[in-house]
Structure 1
Amino acid sequence: MKFVAAIFCAVVLFTGIITVDRNNFKTCEQSSFCRRCRKVEHNNSPFELVPATLNTYSDSITADLVNKNNGHLFVLKVEGVQGDVFRVTIDEKTPLRTRYRVTDALKGPVKPDVIKVTESKTELTVTCGQNKAVIHASPFKIDFYRNEVLFVSANAKGLFKFEHYRTKPEKSEAPAEGEENKETEVPKDDVDNEPGAWEEDFKSHHDSKPNGPEAVALDFTFPQAGVLFGIPEHADSFALKSTLGSEPYRLFNLDVFEFELDNGMALYGSVPVLYGHGTKGTAGVFWMNAAETWVDIYNRNSQKNVLSSIVNMVAGSDNEPLAAHFMSESGIVDAFILLGENPQNTFKQYTDLTGVAPLPQQAALAFHQCRWNYNDEKDVMSVSENFDVHDIPMDTIWLDIEYTDDKKYFTWDSRTFPHPLEMIGNLTARGRHLTIIIDPHIKATNSYYVHNDCVDRNYYTKNKDGNDYDGWCWPGASSYPDLFNPVVRKYLADQYLLENFKTTTNDVFIWNDMNEPSVFNGPEVTMPKDNIHNTEMGTYEHRVVHNLYAHMQTMSTFDGLLRRGENRYRPFILTRGHFSGTQRYAAIWTGDNMAEWTHLQASVKMCLTQAVSGFSFCGSDVGGFFKNPNAELLERWHQAGAFQPFFRAHAHIDTKRREPWLFPENTKLVIRDAIRKRYTYLPFWYVMFYEHERFGYPVMRPLLSHYPHDPETFAIDNQYLLADRLLVHPVAQEGATNVDVYFPRHSATGDGDLWYDIDDYTMIDSVGYVTVPVNSYKIPVFQRGGTIMPKRERVRRASTLMKNDPYTLIVCLDRSQEANGTLYADDEQSYDYRVGKYVYAQIKFTKNVLSSKIIDPSATFDTLAWIERVVIAGLDKAPQSATLKTSSKRITLDVIKNERSYTIRKPAVNIAEEWEIVLNY
């Protein structure tokens, strides 16, 4: 039966003949813990603080909580965390066994902050800087204030639930005759006799649940919020919708075949951070739990759209605040309360905890070409050569699973790829890279050394009976390494070392896929929850760590690639499964999408949500993975991808080949134009990712990030900002001849910024919606007035060949005739920048002087790159000439008037120098 199920799943995946089968995935009602948590009575919490148990420390307090219904005790801990953050943990006081605590999501130990504690008869106040947490004793509730304004309340709805560990009750005796229908009175929190408490079936799968019911849940309200957003990954709107009367949002890493749009079904990743934003400020909650989690969203206008809710919030109507109810199957309550005041600060608080995407190699930010699969070495080289023939830049070509020897990773098919090192060398000689896929499932055959090692060394995940777990995936019979064991992670990391994987080089990038983990014949196409892992903290069921499995694989891969390059080269990894903190190791994409306009539109929404949740390095399969896009959709998707962080074309094995030159000439030219435009902006992408690592702010940002007082921006998810410099509105409607672009205001009634069309510097000086005409080449992108953009306008076949090419500076002035920007450069592939080998310059225009000043004078970097051109838009009057001043020279430069801008040609100053250009009138 396993074989039949696996073959059926494989056939479905290969043919693409059906869409997602909802019956393969649970609803909340079919998940017993979700059902129980959702049934908790509102505003009737049985939990109380026990004041006599209070312990006060320099950075935290602890106290007991009691469940009045059964007398069970828990320990509450409230900590002050540096950066205006509170941490709340709740665990059993004397559990039958230690409950799992997530640690790997955090980038390092949490930095404590000093607190002050004051008490009254009914409440306890913990003050940390300008913030405070007011703990109410009965019923238990915590209110979190910033500057005396209430931003978050925990358990305000009274939905806190903590199912303590217990021994399994013996089966009760049959009722006496005549008493079959007599109701037995049980405590309100008694779940022992509820269906699914001690064992649960779903379809043909049985979950043994040896530990019984162990769910934890807590609600959070956001009194100042007009919109809630976050908790990716879902193919839904940026603004979270009310779940009243529908399914909660689900966080449970799953391989969902041909996923649907506009719902909260689980997808490949789970990032349990949620934000509430309103005109008075922003707050967030990071629910650090790796078990299956459902999140209910309570919206004051559940029957109305998000915009109606925002309007009512601004108008002061309807006093019920927005709220979220987190419900997890296991673990403890471990929540960080983010009180960042504004969106950017709050996003940074989260990345301060979980980390940022490290600065990638420049090549990773360029264009990637992929499909399942390029057939052989000749095919790979033909594709590479044709990009050159048609003058289309491309940095990386990708190989899917068919390159391997019978789906055995770390091997090559000797028939189709007999000379991998030669192939890799040929690509490298052209300035290009190769990416290969490595999935976590291991083909269970005695002819495979990795399988033999894992069996001999006891490295596989175990089933509930203690035997090696056997499932089905691409190789057929497969087993799954226990990635929670650090010894196993090191073993897999070692396989990437050049002495082991001898047919690769340091120029090969890695793609980790199917790592949710995907198990074709498993429950919900994944691993059984009662499987067993050996973690650093002890032995735990898969149910408590499920959402971390992919995270552990990327940790292992990153370690292997880092050591492969002797800690010199920056690894590039793409992963499908992910959790909070995975951004420290890998980029992500939105998974197996479809060649449909709605999926193009969804790519913006999904990557926006990921960006504010730590994952700045996000993109989608350009063109759609399943089905065949028509020419217009392919053109528009390349244009959209050119302005998203990760830019890769990819397609299913059964789709028609899509290389640009296979389409009519006009389509090829449109795609070529979009890709080349991406390459001109690579210096901007590079500085954005450097500043992301340095400062922690997202690269791709919702409009509310910089226009937090404009309610219209709260729900907009069809356009976005890149840093605070570009506004992007992809054309995502079939047959569009114009798009309505929203230009935001700084307050509900205030002015906006000046914006300049990047193609011709047309200035837009208005707020609200503006209809922008588009032709087949047009990508509506606007540079904000007051910013300076670095570009490179000499496009070569690969970004690695542009390293020493000159820069163009695009200066767009604000109403005060000023502008600021930055420029960053290093060797584009190593970690030498972390030891001061880089140049980082502040470029400023004020009082008719454009200047460049080195931000970190102690950093040095030898570069041949220079400033070739300066374009200034928005000048009030025409300069006659310009004077370049450096420490060693003074030169007069010509100023050329264009239709809407002025160009200063060939200042010819090295980017590592300090200089100024004075406009002469």
Structure 2
Amino acid sequence: MMWERWWLLVALFVGCHAVDRSNFKTCDQSTFCKRNRALEPGESQYHVLPDTVVLSDSSVTMDVINKQNDVLFTAEIHALEDNTARIRINEKSPLHPRYGVQGVLIGEPKADNWKVQRSSDGFQAVFGNSTAVITFSPFRVDFLVNNEVAVSVNNRGLLNIEHYRNKKVKEEQKPEEEEADQEGKEEEDTGNQEEDPNKEEGDIEDFEDDEEDEMDSPPTDDGDDEAGMWEETFKTHHDSKPYGPSSVGLDVSFPGSEHVYGIPEHADSLALKVTKGSTDPYRLYNLDVFEYELNNPMALYGSIPYMVSHSAAKTVGVFWLNSAETWIDITSATAGQTMLTKLMSFFKSAEDTPQVDTHWFSESGIIDMFVMLGPSPRSVFRQYSRLAGSTMLPPLFSIAYHQSRWNYNDQEDVNNVNAGFDQYDFPMDVIWLDIEHTDGKKYFTWDSGKFPASIDMINGVAAKGRKMITIIDPHIKRESNYRIHQEAEAQELYVKKADKTSIYEGWCWPGSSSWIDFTNPDIRKWWAEQFALDKYQGSTLDLFTWNDMNEPSVFNGPEISMHKDATHYGGWEHRDVHNIYGMFQPQATCEGQVMRSGGKERPFVLSRAFFAGSQRYGAIWTGDNTATWDHLKISIPMILSINVAGLPFAGADVGGFFQNPEVDLLVRWYQAGAFYPFFRAHAHVDTKRREPWLYDDDKLAIMRDAVRMRYQLLPLWYTVFWESSVTGAPVVRPLWVEYPKDQNTYPMEDQFLLGNSLLVKPVTEQHTSSVNVYMPGTNAVWYDVQTYEAYPGYRWASIATPLSKIPVFQRGGSIVPKKMRVRRASSLMVNDPYTLVVALDNKGKAKGQLYSDDGHSLDYKQGQYLVRDFQFANKKLTSSSGDPNGIYKTKEWLERVIVIGMNVSPASITISSDEGEKNLRFKYDAPKKVVEVKKPGLNISKDFVITFS
């Protein structure tokens, strides 16, 4: 009965139509945020002790002292390969170890030698194409690219590390002292407290939490005046803080830049906004936020503490490797307003140089920061991928179209949906099942009444070339006869309470639950083993996994999450590892899927929570969005931000998770979703059914055309995903990535590029009959993919957008591979022929690439792949191997070549290869300036030359 009442409350909560912001902290309610944000720029109190400096060929270590309290810290600066540096700062002799993030980096970064020149107050070190200038008093690090300051660390003096300390106990107060204290408290409550005349600039102010903030922390006997330093209460939730204050903070400036990007996840603009003086800082703290608000810096489901700064002169990045609650303040300034003036004028910068100042602070851990010095966008993406990894190459089905809702009712419902897509000739690759498929919310089980023959059901879907996905969350139902719970309890696999011995318990979908401790590598191995077909009974190799609620979401916990003083493997508090928890679960799930196939098949995992490194384990989506035009519109900058931050396999629920979309909104969302890297329609349990055939025939046809366009372009999507897996480049890209000197593109967030070939501007406004599209590139040309109409670059174009129109344009100078024979599922297209669409630039040239393999196995790691390079120049289209290590034998062949932008019809067209030479049939459309070449007929893996005479 108690659970039934709780379930009712949850259902009401989930069904509400606006986020309850009182469930989530503001900066003022997060006491370490409040303390750090109160710091004012000035001369830093942190100074290097020169006699402690130890230099090596690639690094320096030194003691740094906080002159306010004489606490010592150890600072390390490392020169790394590929124009990257690392700064680590930790307490020299901490009372307790401080957490350093594990499991994110793909290995120990490789060092790069530097050349050092000492001075009386520091030194300069040259490495790669950059210079690090280390100043001792006060401590500061400036990184120069091409003799211009690109990144400056602690130039505003906001470095702040709250060292571990013993809790002090105040002497027992005399009655008159207590009375005086009470009078002081009453004076403060009325807002009449006088400012301390002895307070020095740069000190952290004293704070007491207001009653309306619901942060009435119990009084502390610690000798420290700050409320919330040793214990804290949010609503009814108490955080014991056994180690006391432990936050770390640092300022990072980007001279010469006016735009910074990244640090997802937020429902906000692509170019990050100024926060200081206007809003809370951007918060990184993985949270389950129902129907999140738009255009604010509130935390959402995932956290990637990685920021990219871009200007016409350079692109640089900063990666703050800390998994605790983190806030980032952003300020716009000029170098003339900062302490950088002298240094910059010594080199090549003027005092009025624009600058973005950022301030990073985390609740615990150490300072461990990587600086990637570019100087181009692609080099920064590559540099980050060498640290945290790039996206795994996904199986082909996973980048096709997915159909989901909470929940398909039963086995018959699944079979009917599967048949419906065939009946209406609508391509689809995956059917999803939410929590209602389980036996009483027990994961790795099936409801035997609703799904009595799950293997037959999965096989029936697989017979059409499709897959299925079931949800498996990290909370485990506490039921005595449930095998997963029995093993987890007996083997101590659960997260513990603050006492480090009792099992942590809370409420989630099953009712009373406990959470698997995925921070333990042995427990991750145990979890992976649960996906074996003999353990996950009712599953097959065609069943894949959705990890949801892994922020972790705890319905009766603080901020709907886990208590920070809960403890994990190694004795670390949850506050230390909160943001990384949601990466470790899909990692274990991913490894389990590989294990169950004997290491043969590629995994697919969708996760809601994520952190830096999550790109190595699968896809994510933007969570519980709403069926409104505003949510459709915000999905574009959200997905672009996540791509810029190194996690390209991202999407948003097509149609909106909550509420019922009007049909035009749904149509436009399908058109936008067809260009999300992860393309899934999903809906809440209380929404109306949305299968596409439930709408009028004309609307069904438009949605089907959008999905068919996705399938035709799967060869391009697959190639771009492969490129991302190799180089770290985003799959969908802001325009400035490919046009870094075009300042018009820097704030753009409503149009983007797929790879470097297609420009997409989804229609995201209601009742829109036309849109203005910016065509980037001086002397460039862009072609409408439907009409082949040409548009000059570096200009705006007005494009008519009837409901059937998706504004998509191919870049002149690109070659796009397509498969025009769209079938019911991508697996049935594997051996189908290709069409090459050659879009000529103004010089009559173009180039492109194709990657291909079997689409599902891990054999590509043993060379079972092919890469083809295509080039059009001097009226010849040439195909050659792009990677001689690829030995994949394919049946795919070249069926058609379309050349756009050919001003004059060729007299003849021939193809030559090792099979000889032959004439090809073609037709020329003079008004469109398009040549269509029919049936070259060669296997796509062969070298050939097609000559247009």
Residue pairs, 1:319-718, within 5 angstroms: 319=353, 321-465=355-499, 466-534=501-569, 538-718=570-750
1:838 counterpart residue number: 865
The residue aligned with 1:269 is 302
Label 1:671 to 1:317 Cα distance change in 2 as closer, same or farther (>3 A). Answer: farther
Q: Name the CA distance, whole Å, in 2 between partners of 1:682 and 1:248.
A: 39
Partners of 1:740 and 1:772 within 8 A in 2: yes
Offset at residue 600 of structure 1 (A): 0.5
Whole-angstrom CA distance in 1 between matches of 2:319 and 2:602: 28
Task: Tell me what 2:47 maps to.
Answer: 48
- Deviation of 1:262 after TM superposition, in Å, equals 0.2
The residue matched to 1:299 in structure 2 has which SS? strand
Please state whether the residue corresponding to 2:28 is helix, strand or coil: coil
Q: How far 1:18 sits from its partner (Å)?
A: 3.3
Matched residue SS, 1:340: coil
1:748 aligns with none
Please report the TM-score for the alignment, with normalisation by the length of structure 2. 0.93
Distance 1:318 1:769 in 2: 31
Counterparts of 1:7 and 1:507 in 2: how far apart (Å)? Answer: 33
8 Å contact 2:258–2:354 — kept in the other structure?
Answer: no
Letter in 1 for 2:832: D
Q: Hey, what does 2:136 align to over in structure 1?
A: 137
Secondary structure in 1 aligned to 2:176?
Answer: coil
- Greater Cα shift, 355-364 or 5-14: 5-14
1:206 paired residue number: 238
Partner of 1:11: 11
| Residue of structure 1 aligned with 2:828, choices 791, 801, 818 | 801
SS of 1:550's partner is: helix
Summarize the Cα distance change of 1:858–1:200 in structure 2 as closer, same or farther, 3 Å threshold: closer
Of 382-391 and 889-898, deviating more is 889-898
SS for the counterpart of 1:138 is coil
Q: Give 1:33's aligned residue.
A: 32
Indicate if the aligned counterparts of 2:388 and 2:612 stay in contact, CA closer than 8 A: yes
* Aligned equivalent of 1:79: 78
Task: Determine helix, strand or coil for the equivalent of 2:545.
Answer: strand
Give 1:175 deviation, angstroms: 5.4
Of the three residues 226, 236, 241, the one matched with 2:273 is 241
- Residue 185 of structure 1, CA deviation: 7.9
Deviation at 1:12, TM superposition (A): 2.5
> What SS does structure 1 have at the residue aligned with 2:589?
helix
2:315 is the alignment partner of 1:288: no
Q: Which residue of structure 2 aligns with residue 149 of structure 1?
A: 148
d(CA) in 2 for partners of 1:11, 1:239: 36
Give the 3 Å change call, closer, same or farther, for CA 741–9 of structure 1 in structure 2. farther
Per the alignment, residue 305 of structure 1 pairs with none
Structure 1, residues 373-427: CA drift from partner, whole Å, max 9, x if none? Answer: 0001110010010101100000000000000000000000000000010011111
Deviation, 1:859, is: 2.0
Measured in 1, the distance between the counterparts of 2:883 and 2:23 equals 55
Partners of 1:463 and 1:752 lie apart in 2 by 63
Look up the match of 1:857. 884
Matching of residue 867 in structure 1 with residue 901 in structure 2 = no
Distance 2:65 2:839 in 1: 61
Shift in Å at residue 794 of structure 1?
0.4
TM-score of the two chains, using structure 1 as the length reference: 0.96
Alpha-carbon contact 1:398-1:434 (below 8 Å) kept: yes
Shift of 1:126: 2.2
> In structure 2, do the counterparts of structure 1 residues 13 and 570 end up closer, same or farther at CA, with 3 Å as the change threshold?
farther
Q: How does 1:100-139 map to 2 (within 5 A)?
A: 100-139=99-138
In structure 1, the partner of 2:63 is 64
Does the 8 A contact of 1:6 with 1:521 survive in 2? Answer: no
> C-alpha distance in 2, partners of 1:609/1:46?
35
Map 1:727-742 to 2 at 5 A. 727-742=759-774
Taking only the aligned residue pairs, the percentage that are identical comes to: 46
Q: Deviations over 1:343-364 (max 9, x none)?
A: 1211221112111111111111
Q: In 1, are the aligned partners of 2:477 and 2:513 still within 8 Å (CA)?
A: yes
Q: Amino acid of the residue matched to residue 393 of structure 2?
A: L
What is the match of residue 784 of structure 1?
Answer: 811
Structure 1's consecutive aligned runs of 4 or more residues displaced over 4 angstroms after TM superposition are 1-6, 178-191, 315-320
Separation (CA, whole Å) in 2 of partners of 1:5 and 1:177: 50
Deviation at 1:44, TM superposition (A): 2.8
Write the letter of the residue equivalent to 1:490.
K
Return the letter of the residue paired with 1:480.
W
Alpha-carbon distance in structure 2 between the residues aligned to 1:482 and 1:636: 41
- What's the offset of the Cα at 1:193? 2.2
CA distance, structure 2, for counterparts of residue 316 and residue 344 of structure 1? 27
Distance in 1 of aligned mates of 2:399 and 2:156: 45
State whether structure 2 residue 936 is matched by structure 1 residue 907. Answer: yes
1:241 positional shift: 0.6
- Offset from partner CA, 1:746-765 (integer Å, 9 cap, x none): xxxxx241101000111101
One-letter code aligned to 1:496: F
Closer, same or farther in 2 for the Cα pair 1:316/1:791, shift >3 Å? farther
1:49–1:317 distance in 2 versus 1, CA, 3 Å: closer
| SS, match of residue 487 in structure 1 | helix
Q: Which whole-Å deviations, capped at 9, do the CAs of 1:642-677 have from their partners, x for residues lacking one?
A: 111110000000000000110111111110110111
C-alpha deviations, 1:850-874, integer Å up to 9, x for none?
Answer: 0100122232222111100000011
SS at match of 2:309: strand
Give secondary structure in 2 for the equivalent of 1:117.
Answer: strand
Task: Classify 1:683/1:728 alpha carbon distance in 2 versus 1 (closer, same or farther; 3 Å).
Answer: same
Contact 2:95–2:165 (Cα < 8 Å) also in 1:
yes
**Quick one: distance in 1 between partners of 2:856 and 2:461?**
17
1:177 counterpart letter in structure 2? E
Deviations 1:311-348 (A, max 9, x none): xxxx9995462111001000000000010012121122
Tell me how far apart the structure 2 counterparts of residues 435 and 752 of structure 1 sit (CA, whole Å).
47
What is the alpha-carbon distance in structure 1 between the residues aligned to residue 85 and residue 828 of structure 2? 48
**1 CA distance for matches of 2:585 and 2:360?**
26
Matching residue of 2:218: none
Secondary structure at the counterpart of residue 756 of structure 1: strand
1:177 aligned counterpart, secondary structure: helix
Q: Is the 8 A contact 2:390 2:727 kept in 1?
A: no
C-alpha separation in 2, matches of 1:362 and 1:632: 29
Tell me, in whole angstroms, the C-alpha distance in 2 between the residues paired with 1:317 and 1:773. Answer: 46
The match for 2:262 is 230
Equivalent in the alignment of 1:174:
173
CA contact (8 A) 2:231 2:244 kept: yes
Taking the aligned partners of 1:619 and 1:9, their CA distance within structure 2 comes to: 30
Q: CA deviation at 1:278?
A: 1.1
User: Aligned equivalents of 1:422 and 1:862: distance in 2?
Assistant: 33
Q: Which runs of 5+ in 2 are unaligned?
A: 185-195, 207-222, 335-348
Contact 2:779–2:842, Cα closer than 8 Å, also in 1: no
- Further displaced range: 617-626 or 98-107: 98-107
Alignment deviations for residues 751-809 of structure 1 (CA, whole Å, 9 cap, x no partner): 24110100011110142221111111110000000000000000100000011110000
Describe the SS at the equivalent of 2:333: coil
Structure 1 residues 423-482: Cα deviation after superposition (integer angstroms, max 9, x where no partner) = 111111100000110000000110211111111111110111231011000000000011
Displacement after TM superposition at 1:6 (Å): 4.2
Aligned-pair distance for 1:5? Answer: 8.6
Given that 1:275 and 1:284 are in contact with CA atoms closer than 8 Å, whether structure 2 keeps it comes out as yes
